Amino acid sequence: MPEMLVDLERLVRVESPSADLAAVARSADVVAEIGEQRIGFAPERIVVEGCTHLRWHLGSPETDAPRVLLLAHHDTVWPVGSLETHPFSIQDGVIRGPGCFDMLTGLVMAVHAVAHLGHLPDAAVTLLVTGDEELGSRSSRPLIEQEADGCVAALVLEAAGDDGALKIGRKGTSSYRVEITGRAAHAGLEPEKGLNATLELAHQVGVVVGFADAALGTSVTPTLARSGTTLNTVPAHASFEVDVRALTAAEQERVDAEFRSLASSTGARIAVHGGVGRPPLEVAATEGVWQRALAVAGELGLSLPEAIVVGGASDGNFTAGIGVPTLDGLGAVGGGAHADHEHVMVEDIPVRTALLTGLILDLLGVDGPVTSRQAGTEAAHRRPL
């Protein structure tokens, strides 16, 4: 624990907002140093579109050896300078600081779990740490899918749900921008000669909201909207953006078809951009790994709460999308992701790391050190995982 807390403080203090590629590169330097110290060798550094990702391959080089992928990210949503208003601290068993919950603690857990796996002559583990997850993993998605291909499972170190709940489902995400082109005219002298893009925007917003299906868990939420140029001009251009979340790929495809069929009510031109992004992490893709986690927790004397399905997406959506069994939410217990009250409970860190280590070994079908069980026992008796 002392070493893990030292490593976590180093990561929080480096600051790594996703859009600041120089900051992400500095963060990658620190992650690489920590990983080399704990795991025993330096990672591969992979820079895609200026964004720095890190990869460790451990164990057997045989292509048919069972392999588990651990997924973490070192970018955060907090801008450089956030430490001035949200300093790193550990008080009364609670860690605070930008990105500690989402998901730097999970990253530290992954590094230390891998470091304690021992020799893996007939199995393999990949630890992939990406630098653009908070922006949608645009540059890292091909890398994630490449590393996941053929794995027996992907384990995602995103933070847990309430009370430490693991995540067995995540909604898929789609995003759209609807652009409307009308015709400008003087709003006072001859408004009738214009074609009001704002009126068309208002109509289309009402239409797309109707694509939602609450019974199936599908949400369609208009977010950003823009229209007009001056107070006295009939607006010729307008646009709005829409966030879509769905529990199944079929629902994503249905909503996508609805967007493609949008028709003007006023004669304005409509163009639809965007589409399906992250596929859903469907419960069917997690059931097997979830049952293994329950079994490992039982062996460790731990009690897992009911697993949950959440609306937010992660890189686990990508691994599940290519058919790899995936379990998410294996990281920190705490709360306040992206918020002022972001925090992590110290006492759960060894318990979660014990579970992670045991689950990796179980999935690989190999015997490992007992240190993970010893690490979790005392905390497990204090409170449920």
Known catalytic residues are 75, 133
Strand order in the sheet with 219-227: 219-227, 237-246, 172-181, 269-276
Identify the DSSP state of 303: -
Contact between 169 and 245 under an 8 Å Cβ cutoff? The reply is no
CA dihedral 124, 129, 134, 136 (to 10 degrees): -50
Q: How many alpha carbons fall within 13 Å on the CB side of residue 342?
A: 26
Task: Give yes or no for a contact between 72 and 127, defined as CB atoms under 8 angstroms apart.
Answer: yes
Q: How far is CA 277 from CA 122, 141, 215, in A?
A: 36, 11, 22
d(CA 277, CA 319): 13
Residue 330 token pair:
């294996």
